[in-house]
Amino acid sequence: MSSIELKTLLSTFGAVFIAELGDKTQLATLSMSAGTTSKWMVFAGSALALCTTSAIAVLAGGLIARFVPPHYLRRIAGGVFILLGILYIATKGD
């Protein structure tokens, strides 16, 4: 594995790990785990779901990147995150 591939692996792991901490997916998994004795099945199901959604994102990113340059995708993703944050803050009281 080259140093560029290792850097990509570690930066992706770090970004996804931080993004998933405390989000609704992790809280749902925590809740499911608390309600069953099959902890490993909850782990396997949640891990498979995360792998599947990640695979869809990688495939979609590869397809979209054929038509839209990556720097535009990063800007669009950043704008969507900002917009969602504003919408969340604006509707928090509802």
Tens digits of residue pLDDT in 59-68:
998 999 999 9
In terms of Cβ atoms closer than 10 Å to its own Cβ (0-12, 13-18, 19+), residue 6 is exposed
Residue 3 in 3-state DSSP? helix
Alpha carbon of 50 to those of 25, 75, 88: distances in Å? 9, 24, 24
pLDDT exceeding 90 applies to what percent of the chain?
57
Domain contains 21? yes
Domain contains 16? yes
Instruction: Report which of 44, 77, 42 is spatially closest to residue 60, judged by C-alpha positions.
Output: 77
Q: pTM above the 0.75 mark?
A: no
Domain contains 93? no
Domain contains 77? no
Give the residue numbers spanning the domain of 19.
3-68
Domain contains 84? no
